[in-house]
Chains A and B, each alone.
Chain A
């Protein structure tokens, strides 16, 4: 029906000025985004997709650099987010480092990167920036706001802040607040970055970035994204070399090697200061009052997720149920921990496509 772009590319929209929850105004603000599918004439088929901590605007298809989007399996013709029916928008979050304004961007006042001069941002600020983007695209209602982890927090914030715009919201592996455990892991990650001598109080853009600290933060984060069971299945006690223990403090086990690989690959594409700012926004996220929500809600937890355990999502759903919101809850059986929202393609596709069909039909 619609022509689908063979190669999606990241586009940019500039907001003149954005007032933030902390009281400061950021000007200008650039928002990097990608779109898939076509906005229909009635402009009622738009879906806003919201990425997690380390994601980017590149959610679907394979881009000009040959990279698959972070939700490649869910976006495309006939997939859960069917690009022949829906117009999908995904933008890099405010404070990020994949094209949107963040601590690594140039501060027009000084001509140098913001560094720690960048204001502390919130999930609400991220959503406000996305709202400017949506307005600029001529979208007046969102068929759905969908996100996992901090993306799910944003989807929930959308439903709270813009009830008249968001027809439905899908919250994957996220709740209306971050738990003490979540804050604790974020803080350890930040401390790892700030303890790296190269961090230089955030002013490292002319020199060497804090690679060791950021890689360590990523390694810690990665442990929380997996489950005990999935780590056992994936690595067990498998050794790297064939010769048994090396009796050195080098990599002995496959799991160590995997974490180092993940850490080192992460520093190639992510800015350490963005990590500080985005995790702080997660920590601050706390939405006790959900009264304003009018959207049809789908909340999905994953049985082995210990960063956002099913009990936390159930608590969110109970609050919504008590307020008689239209909320459906499913706990998907998965051994893949928090990352399941990226990996459980079968059950999620079934739930999402069924849900969106009905939102569409209403």
Chain B
């Protein structure tokens, strides 16, 4: 399946950037970055089978738990830290985001948007936890423990002095169409480029 969320992230990252991908899975995003000319890339992944898949692709990866933080990395040692479709499964989102902004100059965070109109409609009409194409699991069978909306994340950033440099509302991962307005209502996935407030260039 085409992953337009990955393609959009690849397009956000300039060549020559130092990139760390948290929860890199089989290394698909890292491979796309590599092909686009970004060479200084690393991944963190908890699943050992995924690690083996990444090794086969020639990627440099670390088997570890991102909830343990990035304590071994110096401040600002990467240009971009990516957390693609992983925020909703981490146990300590605040710590993870803080660490991303400490270690990286910018962070790219994407997650399924619970504010999407079909999800609202699902809950309104069925009164049950939504099961849709991009959130296909039952409530008792999902790794997602911190679901949020684009609006939630904007508020989260506001109260923590995190600047949102860019927000892309993706109407569908499969088509790659983006929402120009009413992003919280029309997007399946929100992709944020964020940085610490104090580091905003004038």
A-B contact pairs, 29 of them (CB 8 A): A296-B60, A298-B55, A317-B62, A318-B72, A319-B72, A322-B72, A322-B73, A324-B77, A326-B60, A327-B60, A328-B55, A328-B60, A328-B61, A329-B62, A329-B63, A330-B48, A330-B52, A330-B55, A333-B48, A350-B52, A351-B51, A351-B52, A351-B55, A354-B56, A354-B57, A357-B56, A357-B58, A358-B55, A358-B56
- A interface, size bucket: 20 to 34
Q: How far is the CA of A347 from the CA of B48 in the complex (A)?
A: 9
With an 8 Å Cβ cutoff, the count of chain B residues facing the other chain is: 19
Q: A231: CB under 8 A from chain B?
A: no
The 8 Å CB contact of B63, one of A322, A330, A354, A361, is A330
Given contacts A327-B60, A328-B60, contact A321 B73 (CB under 8 A): yes
Task: Considering the complex, give the chain B residue whose CB is closest to the CB of A329.
Answer: B62
Q: B-contacting residues of A (Cβ < 8 Å)?
A: 296, 298, 314, 317-319, 321-322, 324, 326-333, 347, 350-351, 354-355, 357-358, 361-362
Most B CB within 10 A of own CB, among A333, A354, A362 = A354
Q: A324-B77, A327-B62, A329-B64 are in contact. List 14 more A-B contacts (CB 8 A).
A: A298-B55, A318-B72, A321-B72, A322-B72, A326-B60, A327-B60, A328-B61, A329-B63, A330-B48, A333-B48, A347-B48, A347-B52, A357-B56, A358-B55
The reply to whether A354 and B48 form a contact with Cβ atoms under 8 Å apart is no
The reply to whether A358 and B51 form a contact with Cβ atoms under 8 Å apart is no
Q: How far is the CA of A326 from the CA of B40 in the complex (A)?
A: 10
Q: How far is the CA of A296 from the CA of B42 in the complex (A)?
A: 13
Task: Considering the complex, give the chain A residue whose CB is closest to the CB of B42.
Answer: A321
By a CB distance below 8 angstroms, the chain B residues around A330 are 48, 51-52, 55, 63
Given contacts A321-B73, A322-B73, contact A361 B52 (CB under 8 A): no
Q: A-contacting residues of B (Cβ < 8 Å)?
A: 42, 48, 51-52, 54-64, 72-74, 77
By a CB distance below 8 angstroms, the chain A residues around B60 are 296, 326-328
By a CB distance below 8 angstroms, the chain A residues around B51 are 328, 330, 351
The 8 Å CB contact of B55, one of A319, A355, A361, is A355
By a CB distance below 8 angstroms, the chain A residues around B48 are 330-333, 347
By a CB distance below 8 angstroms, the chain A residues around B55 are 298, 328, 330, 350-351, 354-355, 358
The 8 tightest CB contacts between A and B, nearest first, are A354-B56, A358-B58, A318-B72, A354-B55, A330-B51, A329-B62, A350-B52, A330-B63
Task: Considering the complex, give the chain B residue whose CB is closest to the CB of A318.
Answer: B72
Closest-CB distance, B1 to chain A (whole angstroms): 24
Given contacts A347-B52, A350-B52, A351-B55, contact A328 B62 (CB under 8 A): yes
By a CB distance below 8 angstroms, the chain A residues around B72 are 318-319, 321-322
Task: Considering the complex, give the chain A residue whose CB is closest to the CB of B53.
Answer: A354
By a CB distance below 8 angstroms, the chain A residues around B73 are 321-322
By a CB distance below 8 angstroms, the chain A residues around B57 are 354, 358
Q: How far is the CA of A317 from the CA of B61 in the complex (A)?
A: 11
Closest-CB distance, B98 to chain A (whole angstroms): 19
Most A CB within 10 A of own CB, among B42, B51, B61 = B51
Q: How far is the CA of A240 from the CA of B5 in the complex (A)?
A: 62
The 8 Å CB contact of A314, one of B42, B52, B56, B64, is B64
The 8 Å CB contact of A361, one of B58, B59, B64, B74, is B58
